[in-house]
Amino acid sequence: MSQAKKRILLLCAGGTIACRPSQGGLAPALDSQALLEHLSTMTAAYDICPLDLFSLDSSNIQPEHWQTAARCIHEELQNHPWDGVVMTHGTDTMAYTAAMLSYMLENPPVPIVLTGSQLPLEHALTDGYENLRCAFAMAASGVPGVFIAFQHRIILGTRAVKTRSSRFDAFESVNAPLAGTVSAAGLRLNPGALPEIKGEFALKADLSDRVFLVKLTPGIRPEIFQWLADTGYRGIVIETFGAGGMAFLRRNLVECLGKLTARGIPVAAVSQCLYDGSDLSIYESGRMALQNGIWDARDMTTEAAVTKMMWCLGQQPQDLRSLFFTPRFGEISPER
């Protein structure tokens, strides 16, 4: 007896995968129906329902779009028996969207898999088909959560970073093992890498867009932080040197940031190093930062930390700090 095909919702948000050459350069042009017409091998295997969300280069995807996407996915999953969701999206900000959807969609009942490509689907060398094949396989897997599927890798939405601007293996899973891989052996999931999901499915789409990311440079002037607070920013993420270094001599960043935390403006430190994260307990400057109320975001990626701060500020929690440090979908490891 043949098995019923898995029902997959295909949400299209634009990106290179949907691009065509235009006079002004590559621009999103294929809508979800046009995209589907290219996918005959996949429509043979899955029951796919296309739906247009946006037609944007992902540089233009902003917090309002994350909210629209989360609300749409929530509504679709409440009202239709989808086995999974595939969302095509530009690669440039896909890691931010995937992290934010991981926070906004609490306990999703099915896999929600973002993918895209480095070359348009209609390009002779496109990587789009391969990525879509992997995304559909993951979406049909029955394993709930938000993921990115790219170049045979399945990555937790909170752990993905775009590390390459043109090579096909554009995304890495940073400070966390791959959630799965796709090969001739099929989709192989890594159970140890999959956070447990239990509880009611809920939409938590409120956020604050007043979060600023600062990459520290030698000589950066501390006044910038005061200025950010005065212009209405409500949270700051700093990319620190190495394990969490920041200047406290001559230009005292630690003291200036401490004044912000005392005003109730959260400051979280991540590392400028892509791998291994920060540990503010190691060096004098890090310890001073901790004493000044700066949070050590440890092994979080910059994308996961910025979006988590935005999301936490939207929840009006009793305890912002504890919300920030409570993992929602594997974005931070337990304290070492």
We find the least distance from the C-beta atom of residue 164 to ligand ASP, in angstroms, to be 10
Taking alpha carbons only, the member of 209, 232, 164 closest to residue 306 is 209
Query: For this structure, is 41 an active site residue?
Result: no
- In the complex with ligand ASP, which residue's Cβ is closer, 91 or 278? 91
Cβ of residue 67: shortest distance to ligand ASP, in angstroms?
19
Least Å distance, CB 18 to ligand ASP, is 8
Which residue's Cβ has the minimum distance to ligand ASP? 90
Q: Which spans of this chain sit near ligand ASP (rule: CB under 6 A)?
A: 15-16, 57-58, 90-92, 116, 118
Nearer to ligand ASP, 91 or 292 (CB): 91
Question: Which residue number, 58 or 240, has a Cβ lying nearer to ligand ASP?
Answer: 58
Q: Which is nearer to ligand ASP, 58 or 292 (CB)?
A: 58
Cα–Cα distance measured from residue 46 to residue 36, given in angstroms and rounded to the nearest whole number: 11
The span from the CA of 67 to the CA of 183, in Å, is 34
In whole angstroms, the minimum distance from the beta carbon of 58 to ligand ASP comes to 3
Separation of alpha carbons 221 and 218, rounded Å: 9
Contact 61, 13 (CB under 8 A): yes
315: left (phi over 0), alpha (psi -120 to 50) or beta: alpha
| Active-site residue identified among 16, 91, 240, 307 | 16
Which contacts (CB < 8 Å, 24+ apart) does range 248-253 have? 248/284, 248/285, 248/288, 251/219, 251/220, 251/221, 251/222, 252/222, 253/216, 253/220, 253/222, 253/225
Least spacing, CB of residue 22 vs ligand ASP, in Å: 13
Q: Which of 109, 61, 103 is nearest to 205 (CA)?
A: 103
Tell me the pairing of strands 235-240 and 211-215: parallel
Contact of 212 with 314, CB cutoff 8 Å: no
Question: Using alpha carbons only, what angle is made at residue 177 by residues 175 and 178, rounded to the nearest 5 degrees?
Answer: 125
Residue 118 or 271 with smaller CB distance to ligand ASP: 118
Active-site positions read 16
